[in-house]
Amino acid sequence: DAGITQSPRYKITETGRQVTLMCHQTWSHSYMFWYRQDLGHGLRLIYYSAAADITDKGEVPDGYVVSRSKTENFPLTLESATRSQTSVYFCASSEMLEQYFGPGTRLTVT
Partner 1 sequence: GQQLNQSPQSMFIQEGEDVSMNCTSSSIFNTWLWYKQDPGEGPVLLIALYKAGELTSNGRLTAQFGITRKDSFLNISASIPSDVGIYFCAGFTGNQFYFGTGTSLTVIP
Edge-first strand order for the sheet with 4-7 is 4-7, 19-25, 76-78, 64-66
Of 22 and 45, the one with the shorter C-beta distance to partner 1 is: 45
Q: What SS3 class is residue 96?
A: coil
Which of residues 59, 70, 80, 84 is near partner 1 by CB under 8 A?
A: 59
Which of residues 90, 93, 107, 109 is near partner 1 by CB under 8 A?
A: 90
The secondary element (H helix, E strand) that includes residue 10 is strand 10-13
Which of residues 22, 45, 52, 65 is near partner 1 by CB under 8 A?
A: 45
Residues lying near partner 1 in the complex (CB under 8 A): 35, 40-45, 58-59, 90, 92, 97-104
